[in-house]
Amino acid sequence: MKVLIINNLMSGLRDGSIFDFMRKLAQDGDEITIRNTDGTTLVEALLDEAYQYDLVVASGGDGTIASICYALRSTGIPILAFPAGTGNLLTQNLNQQEEPYAIIGTLREGLTLDFDIGEVSYFFNDEKVTRGFMVMSGAGYDAQIIQTSERLKDSFGSAAYAFAALGNPNPQHAHFTIYLDDEKIEIDGIAVLIMNFARIYSDIPISHENDARDGLLEIAVLKSHNAVELLPAFISAFLDRSGKFPSRTDAVENFKAKHVRIESDPPLFIQHDGEARGCTTPLEASVLPRAVRLYVNRREYERLTERDFL
């Protein structure tokens, strides 16, 4: 195989697991190229001639992996998501193990599927910016949590998100104007989540039947006034794991659309796949159907392809 690895040196706890992966992956005749960034060099600049390789390994957190997926959208180049970040929500949603030997097994088996990717646009320093997201984008409480967690990640890892949430029990409440394709919605809440994959921290799904291959984005409005009011909804989401699928309560309202625009009063901070740059609403997002090809393990491949025929 010819393998191109794009590695974010600053992702997660920087434990160097990608180098163990390389050592265990290499077999006779393989060619492995690694290109590194510490955030100074954009990952897009490291993907020159990616078409000359059999696959690209995206090593980093969700933001890094999403940037690589977006840069390679609609190319058909298969991508292996290597979980080197703090939260690693994408690989959790793909039910992918984190141990290098297991990831290599998935790679060698060679099963891939095409997934949707979200495309989000917002203004940064008065210039319009467009980025990709694989898991979710949003405005409000989630962005505040991500901003607060940044300074805690080195000490607490993935628990930084929980500490950040506990440290902000009364987030800003806002009035949202949401455009879903041709529909306009007025609603109050603390956050709007735009989801491609819907499983978040601690394996909690925000919606019952998420499908990142259906050509639609899921939009969840957190309508509570504070974090405490969200607890029943998240307990219900946790119970999805047992197959009970209880109601999310009135604290969360879900919609689906191909295109969404979010305006808020007051303006709220935004994020996409854990990247928060201090930008605020408005933001727009669209789905790019099945534009990214990802490696998946056999169990996930069978589960998702079986769904295609239901």
Burial 76-102 (b: 16+ CB within 10 A, else e): ebbbbbbbbbbbbbbbbbbebeeebee
Torsion of CA 106, 218, 281, 274, to 10 degrees: -20
DSSP-based three-state secondary structure for 99: coil
pLDDT of the residue at 161: 46
Q: Which two tokens stand for residue 85?
A: 């970040």
Residues 6+ apart with CB under 8 A from 149: 160, 161, 163, 164
Quote the distance between the C-alpha of residue 304 and its chain's center: 18
Local confidence pLDDT in tens for the 310 residues of the chain = 999 999 999 887 677 899 999 999 999 999 999 999 998 999 999 998 999 999 999 999 999 999 999 999 999 999 999 999 877 889 999 999 889 999 999 999 999 999 999 999 999 988 999 999 999 999 988 776 665 545 544 544 444 445 445 556 677 889 999 999 999 999 999 889 999 998 776 566 666 678 999 999 999 898 876 555 554 444 444 445 555 555 555 678 889 999 999 999 999 999 998 887 789 999 999 999 999 999 999 999 999 998 766 5
CA-nearest of 185, 250, 172 to 219 is 185
CA-nearest of 74, 118, 130 to 217 is 118
pLDDT of the residue at 238: 44
pLDDT of the residue at 152: 43
Rounded Cα distance, 48 and 68, in Å: 12
Tokens 């409480």, located at residue: 141
Q: What are phi and psi of 290, to 5 degrees?
A: 45, 50
pLDDT of the residue at 86: 78
pLDDT of the residue at 299: 94
User: What are the CA-CA distances from residue 115 to residues 60, 122, 226, 291 (Å)?
Assistant: 19, 23, 34, 6
pLDDT of the residue at 156: 41
pLDDT of the residue at 49: 93
> Which residues, listed in sequence order, are joined to residue 79 by a DSSP beta bridge?
56, 294
Domains of the chain are 2-117+291-308 (3.40.50.10330), 118-288 (2.60.200.40)
Please answer whether residues 50 and 117 qualify as being in contact, where contact means their C-beta atoms are separated by less than 8 angstroms.
no
CA-nearest of 122, 147, 124 to 132 is 122
pLDDT of the residue at 202: 52
Rounded Cα distance, 150 and 54, in Å: 35
pLDDT of the residue at 227: 57
pLDDT of the residue at 204: 66
Residue type, 85: G
Global pTM?
0.87
